[in-house]
Amino acid sequence: MTLNGFGRASACWARLLVVLAMAVGCGSASDLPAQRAGVDLKEEAADNPFVFNFDSEPYGTSMKEWADNWMRWEYSIPAATNPIIVAGADCDQHQAGPVYFVPDGPNHNDAFSLPRHKALAIMLSQVNNDYPCPNPSFHPAPGQSLFDFLSAVLTQVNDGITVLDVRLDGVPIHDALRYRFTSTEVFFFVGDKSLAAGFDGCVTGSLQPAVTDDLFLLFKPLSRGQHVLTTHIENKDGNVFDRTRTILSE
């Protein structure tokens, strides 16, 4: 398992990438999680006016797909200029379209500028597992689907989160844990081949499958000026992760 955000530790070839957006950082429809059953969408919109609803399709794309696109964006940038890897690297790379993807990891700043007309994609915690990997023993068992193989322990990290407090300019996002998007089938991405050295040894540089378990928020375009986004996360092991980001909406 590889942790990105507060540390790194690899375990064999069954690679999982965990992104916890509470350490230092920069600038297919989804299934409903059990805890969200019965939530009224109008009530959700009233509770959380800053973010797109869980079941919405911002700009014609489902929230799950936007979460997948966050990973696709992250993996599209070469290692030499990737802001998750390189301190001070430009966060504006490959930021086409209506959504601005914010990287996370130990090598970038907690202050960044955001084009005022763009939505803001924040990954609070991600676990992903991609395929294939160099180890020939890393493959499904006879009769096992690739999805079942990749997702066998996919949800364990996010299942352990007990507190998720997210606030924009001091206003809390109500019940942030319900913004969870877990793959129900594999999706596909293309990672830059240079990421295979040190970041993700399973990156092939061509189209390959993956699964993810995401806690993900998509903020509506912010008003002009400075905003402060704070995140407080606790897990069942007693670990606490706090983070503050300063965002300048231009």
- Can you give the pLDDT of all 250 residues of the chain as single tens digits? 333 333 222 232 334 555 543 333 333 333 333 344 444 545 555 679 999 999 999 999 999 999 999 999 999 999 999 988 888 888 899 999 999 999 876 555 678 899 989 999 999 999 999 999 999 999 999 999 999 999 999 999 999 999 999 999 999 999 999 999 999 999 999 999 999 998 999 999 999 999 999 999 999 999 999 999 999 999 999 999 888 889 999 8
Neighbours of 93 (CB within 10 A): 15
d(CA 81, CA 177): 32
Neighbours of 233 (CB within 10 A): 23
Amino acid 156: pLDDT:
94
Amino acid 116: pLDDT:
86
Q: Which residue has the tokens 């965990």?
A: 18
Amino acid 155: pLDDT:
96
Angle, CA of 25, 176 and 49, to the nearest 5°:
95
